[in-house]
Amino acid sequence: MKIAFIGLGNMGAPMAANLAKAGHTVTGFDVAGATAEGVAQAGSGPEAVAEAEVVITMLPNGAILRSVADEIIPAMAPGAVLLDCSTVDVDSARAVADQAAAAGLGALDAPVSGGIGGAAGGTLTFMVGGSEEAFAKAKPLFDIMGQKAVHCGPSGNGQAAKICNNMILGVTMIATCEAFALADKLGLSREAMFDVVSTSSGSSWSMNTYCPAPGVGPTSPADNGYKPGFAAELMLKDLGLSQQAAETADADTPMGQRALELYRSFVEDEGGKGRDFSAMLPRFSDRSRG
């Protein structure tokens, strides 16, 4: 398949490289001049997409996605599919899908879970919105770049699934870190805390798989000085998207709103930028109730 890949950053480059390694013809473009192994370089976005059957984008936010879409959609071949793997607001995803449909193109919003390691290892999970026809065309590519692709319904639903999932993740990580900090102050060892909670009603992915306490449970960023597997500023971005969507949908999400406020303070005022989102644990450990 002829594929164009726009956005060859930390996530996009290994995803594009995996597609090239699997035998697809991949042409890439990145405004910063980034490259990917096995991927031919185009001089512009429109040049990259001109003959592609599927155009994949991995971009920082909705405003940039809309700008790139304005550039590349007129240059795409009739019947091609625009597959956006960025995490953006639902409104931008749906607007770009409508723009693609008006140009006779397929469109999918397919944000990912799994981070840089998942992108490199081809083990990402894709949450996909768009038509069944476009999903079927892209399915072989999902199978190369990831281990699972879930079709969540019409355009925008992939983004909806991603932000709802990450709102849960942000809230449960905060609760897990609070509980460890409380256990410390009550004289309960972290190992005992983990052994009880990980097999009891308080268990969660944040506790069992990505434990924020170093030396406890499976290896996690806590065991590497909280160097980011998923950076706190990315969690802040996703929580912001969840609350933007909640406002649009008139949904009451007080825990999501509070998680957004805590991560904003952590990232902007408390040295959390550049640290893993689980570094909330030392943040709570260092604080008193007042």
Q: Do residue 167 and residue 253 come from a single domain?
A: yes
pLDDT of residue 115: 86
CATH number of the domain that residue 229 is part of: 1.10.1040.10
CATH number of the domain that residue 13 is part of: 3.40.50.720
Is residue 6 within 8 Å of 72, Cβ to Cβ? Answer: yes
Q: Give me the domain span that covers residue 70.
A: 2-153
Model pLDDT for residues 141-180, shown as the tens digit of each residue: 999 999 999 999 999 999 999 999 999 999 999 999 999 9
b/e 19-47 (16+ beta carbons within 10 angstroms → b): bbebebbbbbbbeeebebebbeebeebbe
Model pLDDT for residues 118-132, shown as the tens digit of each residue: 999 999 999 999 999
Q: Do residue 167 and residue 147 come from a single domain?
A: no
Confidence class for position 89, pLDDT limits 50, 70, 90: very high
Average pLDDT value for residue range 14-32: 98
Q: Do residue 36 and residue 53 come from a single domain?
A: yes
Q: Do residue 211 and residue 187 come from a single domain?
A: yes
Residue where a domain terminates, one of 92, 127, 153: 153
pLDDT of residue 97: 98
With CA atoms as reference, report the closest residue to 58 among 92, 21, 11, 123: 11
Residue where a domain terminates, one of 133, 153, 173: 153
Residue where a domain terminates, one of 131, 153, 175: 153
Single out the catalytic residue among 162, 185, 227, 237: 162
Percent share of the chain, pLDDT over 70: 100
Q: Do residue 100 and residue 141 come from a single domain?
A: yes
Model pLDDT for residues 71-88, shown as the tens digit of each residue: 999 999 999 999 999 999
Confidence class for position 262, pLDDT limits 50, 70, 90: very high
Q: Do residue 192 and residue 128 come from a single domain?
A: no
Count of domains forming the chain = 2
Confidence class for position 290, pLDDT limits 50, 70, 90: confident
148 is catalytic: no
Q: Do residue 15 and residue 72 come from a single domain?
A: yes
Q: Do residue 134 and residue 106 come from a single domain?
A: yes
User: Residue 50: what residue type?
Assistant: A
Q: What is the mean pLDDT of the chain?
A: 97
- pTM score, two decimals? 0.92
pLDDT at 238 over 80: yes
Is residue 97 within 8 Å of 156, Cβ to Cβ? Answer: yes
Supply the DSSP symbol for 131: -
pLDDT of residue 116: 87
Confidence class for position 11, pLDDT limits 50, 70, 90: very high
- CB-based contacts of 5, cutoff 8 Å, min separation 6: 12, 15, 16, 19, 26, 27, 28, 29, 36, 39, 48, 55, 56, 57, 58
pLDDT of residue 46: 97
264 token code pair: 């904003």
Confidence class for position 138, pLDDT limits 50, 70, 90: very high
pLDDT of residue 45: 97
Q: Do residue 130 and residue 233 come from a single domain?
A: no
Q: Do residue 129 and residue 187 come from a single domain?
A: no
pLDDT of residue 64: 97
Q: Do residue 71 and residue 174 come from a single domain?
A: no
Q: Do residue 125 and residue 228 come from a single domain?
A: no
